[in-house]
């Protein structure tokens, strides 16, 4: 096998099964490439874990026992607690945290034979849209603008390291988390596929919490089929997460078909938002045409409350974050100030002032404000009510259509540093992804084409809760039609 790093999960599994190469060989080629890469995708490399897991996988392969991800080298977003492997959430406050337990999702994946190459970079506590809020530095998107080749581009965020690592072929696939778009937007920026499943599909146990009513685990992969294999290995009920739902995990990958005959696809008119690049509108129209050509019926729909999704998210997510992040106080684990303090409160204050970055502090302050006496009803309670209206819009829409097609992000990847001093501009990146997060429904981003600068553009498919199969099916149809060529020969 000439280039092990061009394999998908599907083709790597075939090669491993046919004994064309071993998992140790496959893993070594990725470890080597990941070690040489300068894009800062990994916060921590875990070669000892990877090689031990690969050796175990080879034994199982020899015995003819193969799990869904047997021997496949992946990157794990550094938000998943991994037993014995440092887990930082890209924050100074957790720079020295080594979990004593495994997150449910990473444990599920290891039980299916996954090999962990390392912990992938992200925005601190998953707050951001460019991976520029990491204590461990920015991540470089491997794609280059044709017009401005010297521009260093963001991979998207918050799961930027996970997405860029797949695009750069320094892992076969990876995990992300998506609270408001953190899987779908980086997938779009890096020209790969990423799915946020239905809220409750994957356990949140052991995933460092940002906004618990929104956080969902999900995968990044090179193809739609690979995404389905990944999600199958990650998903499942967990008694330790009261919001995980006891539903069987379907064989999505085995059942994927790109058949659209009789399928109705909705185009929400409210998604033609101001400030969206013309190129995005063009690729969206093209996507609709591709689906129509394959037998789908395209129907204009209305999601009247989606325009409130962004402001509502930026009340609810900070509110939940301010509660979740209260636990980082320097007492039991994580960073503690080395400065002198004369009271417990002073120790907390110094620890938290040193340990959290600017964006995280901003969110804690917004969250504390909207939850405070006198503002709680005006902001938080009202936001929850509007959230229900947003979810109802989707319920109504799904009585008319099987899936909804939208752009994933309002632009292609932007330059590292851009939008950094204008939080609202940064937040606008999530305008197309957040409504689905508020409603808890599945959303998948598929690479659909290139901008005039030669940068990837993604399209998003949304379906009703628990109908990931339709999301995969429509995504497969898009993938077939788009003929998107991944970044080659890095």
Catalytic residues: 77, 158, 182
| H or E element in which residue 389 lies | helix 382-397
> Using the rule CB under 6 A, is 128 a contact of ligand GLN?
yes
Sort strands 115-120 and 443-450 into parallel, antiparallel or unpaired.
Answer: unpaired
For ligand GLN, the binding residues in 290-349 under the rule CB under 6 A are 317
CB of 47 within 8 A of CB of 37? no
CB of 181 within 8 A of CB of 129? yes
Rounded least distance, CB 105 to ligand GLN, Å: 15
| Interface segment toward ligand GLN; rule CB under 6 A; list 91-99, 161-169, 172-180, 281-289 | 172-180
433 to 462: interface string for ligand GLN, x by CB under 6 A: ------------------------------
> Using the rule CB under 6 A, is 200 a contact of ligand GLN?
no
> Using the rule CB under 6 A, is 166 a contact of ligand GLN?
no
Rounded least distance, CB 343 to ligand GLN, Å: 33
Q: Quick one: which of 180, 186, 219, 287 contacts ligand GLN (CB under 6 A)?
A: 180
The C-alpha atoms of residue 107 and residue 455 are separated, in whole angstroms, by 35
The region that residue 460 occupies, defined by phi over 0 for left and psi between -120 and 50 for alpha, beta otherwise, is beta
Who's near 303: CB < 8 A, 6+ residues apart?
Answer: 268, 270, 271, 390, 393, 394, 397, 435
Taking each helix axis as running N to C, give the angle between helix 358-370 and helix 309-324, from 0 to 180 degrees, rounded to the nearest 10.
100
Rounded least distance, CB 108 to ligand GLN, Å: 21
Kindly give the residue spans of alpha helices, DSSP state H, lying in 80-195.
104-111, 160-167, 184-190
* Residue 91: other Cβ atoms inside 10 A: 28
| Interface segment toward ligand GLN; rule CB under 6 A; list 122-130, 233-241, 270-278, 465-473 | 122-130
Nearer Cβ to ligand GLN (449/458): 458
Q: Quick one: which of 69, 127, 315, 446 contacts ligand GLN (CB under 6 A)?
A: 127
CB of 8 within 8 A of CB of 2? no
What is the total count of residues that contact ligand GLN (CB under 6 A)?
Answer: 14
Rounded least distance, CB 130 to ligand GLN, Å: 9
Residue 91 β-bridge partners: none
Which residue in the shown chain puts its C-beta closest to ligand GLN? 182
Q: Quick one: which of 29, 40, 129, 162 contacts ligand GLN (CB under 6 A)?
A: 129
> Using the rule CB under 6 A, is 142 a contact of ligand GLN?
no
| Interface segment toward ligand GLN; rule CB under 6 A; list 33-41, 175-183, 230-238, 480-488 | 175-183
| H or E element in which residue 385 lies | helix 382-397
Rounded least distance, CB 423 to ligand GLN, Å: 9
| Interface segment toward ligand GLN; rule CB under 6 A; list 51-59, 69-77, 178-186, 382-390 | 178-186
| CA-based nearest residue to 192, from 211, 168, 210 | 168
Structure tokens, 406? 């939208």
> Using the rule CB under 6 A, is 366 a contact of ligand GLN?
no
Rounded least distance, CB 461 to ligand GLN, Å: 18
Nearer Cβ to ligand GLN (33/188): 188
| Interface segment toward ligand GLN; rule CB under 6 A; list 121-129, 276-284, 325-333, 444-452 | 121-129
Rounded least distance, CB 125 to ligand GLN, Å: 8
For the stretch 197-226, what's the b/e string if a residue is b when 16 or more beta carbons lie within 10 angstroms of its beta carbon?
Answer: bbbbbbbbbbbbbbbebbbbbbbbbbbbbb
Rounded least distance, CB 360 to ligand GLN, Å: 10
> Using the rule CB under 6 A, is 476 a contact of ligand GLN?
no
| Interface segment toward ligand GLN; rule CB under 6 A; list 81-89, 123-131, 348-356, 467-475 | 123-131
The C-alpha atoms of residue 199 and residue 17 are separated, in whole angstroms, by 34
Rounded least distance, CB 33 to ligand GLN, Å: 27
The C-alpha atoms of residue 222 and residue 486 are separated, in whole angstroms, by 8
Q: What is the DSSP letter of 97?
A: -
Residue 484 preceded by cis peptide, ω within 30 = no
| Interface segment toward ligand GLN; rule CB under 6 A; list 27-35, 51-59, 124-132, 276-284 | 124-132
Q: Quick one: which of 179, 198, 223, 227 contacts ligand GLN (CB under 6 A)?
A: 179
> Using the rule CB under 6 A, is 209 a contact of ligand GLN?
no
> Using the rule CB under 6 A, is 428 a contact of ligand GLN?
no
> Using the rule CB under 6 A, is 182 a contact of ligand GLN?
yes
* Residue 25: other Cβ atoms inside 10 A: 16
Phi, psi dihedrals of residue 357, rounded to the nearest 5°: -80, 175
Nearer Cβ to ligand GLN (335/363): 363
Who's near 69: CB < 8 A, 6+ residues apart?
Answer: 9, 109, 112, 113, 114, 229, 230, 233
Which residues of this chain interact with ligand GLN, rule CB under 6 A?
A: 126-129, 157-158, 178-182, 210, 317, 430
């Amino acid at each position: 096998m000439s280039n092990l790093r061009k394999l998908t999960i599907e083709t790597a599994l075939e090669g491993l099964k046919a004994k064309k190469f071993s998992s140790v060989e496959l893993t070594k080629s990725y470890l080597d490439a990941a070690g040489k890469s300068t894009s800062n995708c990994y916060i921590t490399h875990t070669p000892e874990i990877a090689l031990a897991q690969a050796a175990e996988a080879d034994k199982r392969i020899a015995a003819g026992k193969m799990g869904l991800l047997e021997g496949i080298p992946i990157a794990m977003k550094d938000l998943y607690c991994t037993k014995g492997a440092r887990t930082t959430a890209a924050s100074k406050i957790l720079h020295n945290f080594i979990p004593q337990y495994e997150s449910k999702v990473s444990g599920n994946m290891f039980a299916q034979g996954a090999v962990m190459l390392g912990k992938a970079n992200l925005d601190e506590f998953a707050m951001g849209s460019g991976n520029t809020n990491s204590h461990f530095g920015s991540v470089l998107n491997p794609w280059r603008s044709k017009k401005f080749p010297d521009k260093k581009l963001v991979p998207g965020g918050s799961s930027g390291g996970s997405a860029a690592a797949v695009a750069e072929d320094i892992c076969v696939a990876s995990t992300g988390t998506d609270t408001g778009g953190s899987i779908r937007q980086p997938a779009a920026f890096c020209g790969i596929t990423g799915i946020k499943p239905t809220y409750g599909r994957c356990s949140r146990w052991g995933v460092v919490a940002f906004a618990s009513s929104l956080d969902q685990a999900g995968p990044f992969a090179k193809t739609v089929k690979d995404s389905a294999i990944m999600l199958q290995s990650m998903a499942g009920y967990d008694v330790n997460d009261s919001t995980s739902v006891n539903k069987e995990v379907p064989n999505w990958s085995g059942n994927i078909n790109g058949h659209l005959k009789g399928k109705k696809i909705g185009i929400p008119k409210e998604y033609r938002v101001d400030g969206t690049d013309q190129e995005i509108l063009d690729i969206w129209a093209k996507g609709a045409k591709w689906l129509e050509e394959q037998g789908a019926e395209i129907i204009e729909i209305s999601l009247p409350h989606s325009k409130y999704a962004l402001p509502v998210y930026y009340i609810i997510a900070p509110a939940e974050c301010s509660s979740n992040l209260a636990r980082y106080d320097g007492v039991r684990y994580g960073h503690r100030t080395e400065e002198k303090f004369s009271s417990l409160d002073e120790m907390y204050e110094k620890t938290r002032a040193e340990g959290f970055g600017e964006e995280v502090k901003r969110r804690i302050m917004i969250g504390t404000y909207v939850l405070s006496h006198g503002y709680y009803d005006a902001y938080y309670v009202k936001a929850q009510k509007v959230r229900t209206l947003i979810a109802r819009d989707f319920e109504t829409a799904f009585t008319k259509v099987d899936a909804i097609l939208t752009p994933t992000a309002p632009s292609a990847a932007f330059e590292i540093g851009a939008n950094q001093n204008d939080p609202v501009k940064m937040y606008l990146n999530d305008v197309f992804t957040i409504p689905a997060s508020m409603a808890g429904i599945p959303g998948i981003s598929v690479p659909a084409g290139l901008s005039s600068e030669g940068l990837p553009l993604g399209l998003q498919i949304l379906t009703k809760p628990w109908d990931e199969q339709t999301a995969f099916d429509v995504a497969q149809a898009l993938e077939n039609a788009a003929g998107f060529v991944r970044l080659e020969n890095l």
